[in-house]
Amino acid sequence: MTQFLPVATAGTSIWFTVGYIVFIVALFYFIAIRPQNKQRKEQEAMLSTLEVGDSILTTSGFYGVVIDVMDEVVIVEFGNNKNCRIPMQKAAIVQVEKTNKD
């Protein structure tokens, strides 16, 4: 009759499992959550410096010039037509190019 010896004890198995879960959570944090938070902070910093006269690019690919800045809304003029002024959310702005005010 052959007797089987356990490969790992129950305590070792539990700590290995806990360590594995901690490793997966840390990996997920550094791959997904941390870069997203960094990008969000950069976006907020960019939008906080938004001023009248800045050229912007929207999420839909339109270029425009900021006419008025409010809390969460900006008025943007698209093209050379002075009648094409559209209110839009600040969150829809992906790029800001500052104008040179001398």
Position 22 scores a pLDDT of 95
Same domain? 89 vs 62: yes
d(CA 98, CA 52): 10
Q: What is the pLDDT of residues 4-36, one digit of tens each?
A: 655 555 557 888 899 999 999 999 999 999 999
Same domain? 33 vs 55: no
43-57: average pLDDT: 92
Q: What is the pLDDT of residues 74-93, one digit of tens each?
A: 999 988 877 889 999 999 99
Tell me whether residue 32 is in a domain.
yes
Same domain? 41 vs 63: no
Model-level pTM?
0.65
Position 101 scores a pLDDT of 63
Secondary structure class of 19 (helix, strand, coil): helix
The phi and psi torsions of 96 (rounded to 5 degrees) equal -125, 130
Position 86 scores a pLDDT of 92
What angle (nearest 5°) sits at the alpha carbon of residue 66, between those of residues 60 and 71?
90
Same domain? 14 vs 38: yes
Domain of residue 33: give its range: 8-48
d(CA 12, CA 24): 18
Residue 98 corresponds to which tokens in the numbers above?
A: 């500052």
Instruction: Reply yes or no on whether the pLDDT at 50 is more than 60.
Output: yes
Domain count, the chain: 2
